[in-house]
Structure 1
């Protein structure tokens, strides 16, 4: 009798998982719009040229083809349109899987080929190109990651022939502030510093501008106060809101067929045991998850500060998709699908999500007219429209 109850329970559980899986498949890789008015497909070439445009490209570290990669093809079109009036921000995870090794060998050669696939395109940009570092650039956050990020910094600065093409310098936490045009300010912070294991440089001994964590927040607060009346783009690697894996969201497949993470054909149903790892990441978290104590502490402090201001566009990568969250007068982006895509849950606080390669741009026309747009490589026809989402984030 007990056996039959257990069998019925198991079959019912499997049917529930199957129904949830089929429902999830219906919307996976389809764009989600909370407001249909945001779904305004357009061609980049048809837009009025802004006073300044900021492209926010995250996690491009798996790009290998300089000429034909769809993201680089689209980026060249954006570069051609905006020229010197465009700033390109690379939001970290620039070289997969472990950044640029500070030693010779096959891994070093492979890493150089990957970063050069990007740099061969970005060298041609007439405007600014600025790289940030992500967890993969710090040797996936391992204790010797500091040497990796210094190596990558020098390589990129040399190739782009620009001291300020990798910020913050020397693995420091920041913040770094750069004016783009009057009314538009760029601030960059190194969020990997907060979750990094091993050496984390800070203070004058490492050429950092702040001596303590408290001073970092004081400096950031001062910068935000100075530019209270401007549109501020705050660039980082780690998002503050996410409907994807690092935000604690998993697919039904990950719960029911966990072994597919090791091999895509291992469809062995483990409907209860398979939930252990996703649940752990949601409530406890690895170093790079929002639930981890270090990440949670940073997020709490940043949000407490940002909630005191408006007109801030916080741009991050890390999760491999496109997400937009308008919260309390500010705008939080995940723009991490430069070379990979991964599941993202629709709804919640998000106004837009899409599991697709692409990147966000901030188009600044005037202090009271700033547009946020999501650009994606056309998938069917070469003349298809690249802009899938757009919203005026400043101005009526």
Structure 2
């Protein structure tokens, strides 16, 4: 009797996982919209509203094609043409795969410089302001020697663009760095990799940082936010604070049943139960780059404690290779990490929008004070170099009327 019971349970479990796997594959690359945003196509800025400034957020572009056929770079070129004088392109880290910019003579050096030059040539072809920040891969995947790797990339970018403010925060410091983009629109940049970096990392004036204790960072961040409640604040970082994807502890059914596909995409060896050990470990304890890891968790908690005091923040990150939007406690949290790679993102939860597709988010600021978010995605099937808009939404915030002009 026990034997038949075990067989029935096993067959039912296998059937459930197989059905879930097939359904997951069927809907995986389709966008998810929160019920209230299903009719997003009907919404658009008023006809009399004039666009004042535009910001493109591109994450994880480090594996771009270098032969001129990269769809995201083609989309970026078209965005530059749309915004010839009032635009900033923010590169959210992981600018070079797999280990950032190694020294000359390394086996990865030629590929790394070719990819970085491809990106630099695109931004130099227009009049927009480029801003680069670093991610875990730019720091040698968070391992020893990552600090030198990041400094090498910073020097390369600054030299190519002839602009010391093109790589922020400078010198690998935590930040925060600020750039006033337009009247009423502030860009604030944080180097979140500093918190999860395992090797050497800078601190103090000897390394070009403005303070000797990380607690000073939180005080400075809160001070900037408190003094700028009269304008919209775009916070750029590499690590997301909300995510329905891998680094947020979300895994596919395939990863539970065929865990060896993480090592090679053709290793379809079924290992049910045992295959779930790795996803459960990542979800509960996490690698250094996961939200569940103690260092990441501590950083996230401190940042959210500060952000939740305000209602004029749009936080944009990369890291997970997909496109996501969350609206939580009157602030907005965006994941724009599919600049050159895509990976699974779970639908639903607290997200208003998710999509596994190459692309990036654009934030448009208008003269009436409104901010509209656009999700631009690649359309390689139709050879549409401009790309398509997969989602559009007005990002509403509560700002305070400025009583007295303050400096950032």
In which range does the TM-score fall when normalised by the shorter chain? Answer: over 0.9
Instruction: Say if 2:100 and 2:149, in contact at 8 Å, map to a contact too.
Output: yes
Deviations 1:9-36, CA, capped at 9 Å, x for gaps: 3222211111211222232010011134
Match of 1:143? 144
The whole-number CA distance in structure 2 between the counterparts of 1:349 and 1:42 is 21
Higher mean alpha-carbon deviation, 258-267 vs 306-315, is at: 258-267
- Structure 2 residue ranges without an equivalent (≥5): 399-408
Q: CA RMSD in A?
A: 2.1
Match of 1:245? 246
Change (3 A) 1:223 1:66: farther
Match of 2:305? 304
Instruction: Say if 2:71 and 2:380, in contact at 8 Å, map to a contact too.
Output: no
Match of 2:70? 69
SS at match of 1:140: helix
Change (3 A) 1:370 1:283: same
The whole-number CA distance in structure 2 between the counterparts of 1:69 and 1:48 is 33
Instruction: Say if 2:21 and 2:254, in contact at 8 Å, map to a contact too.
Output: yes
Match of 1:374? 375
The whole-number CA distance in structure 2 between the counterparts of 1:41 and 1:388 is 13
Give the C-alpha shift of residue 274 in structure 1: 0.2
Give the C-alpha shift of residue 367 in structure 1: 5.5
Give the C-alpha shift of residue 65 in structure 1: 2.5
Match of 1:392? 394
Instruction: Say if 2:357 and 2:378, in contact at 8 Å, map to a contact too.
Output: no
Instruction: Say if 1:32 and 1:353, in contact at 8 Å, map to a contact too.
Output: yes
The whole-number CA distance in structure 2 between the counterparts of 1:47 and 1:277 is 53
The whole-number CA distance in structure 2 between the counterparts of 1:154 and 1:361 is 27
Match of 2:404? none
Match of 2:124? 123
After superposition, residues 185-224 of structure 1 pair within 5 angstroms as 185-224=186-225
The whole-number CA distance in structure 1 between the counterparts of 2:43 and 2:387 is 5
Q: Structure 1 length as normaliser, TM-score?
A: 0.95
- The size of the alignment, in residue pairs, is 395
Instruction: Say if 1:87 and 1:129, in contact at 8 Å, map to a contact too.
Output: yes
Instruction: Say if 1:66 and 1:72, in contact at 8 Å, map to a contact too.
Output: no
Give the C-alpha shift of residue 63 in structure 1: 0.4
Q: Structure 2 length as normaliser, TM-score?
A: 0.92
- Structure 1 residue ranges without an equivalent (≥5): none
Deviations 1:104-128, CA, capped at 9 Å, x for gaps: 2331112111111111111112021
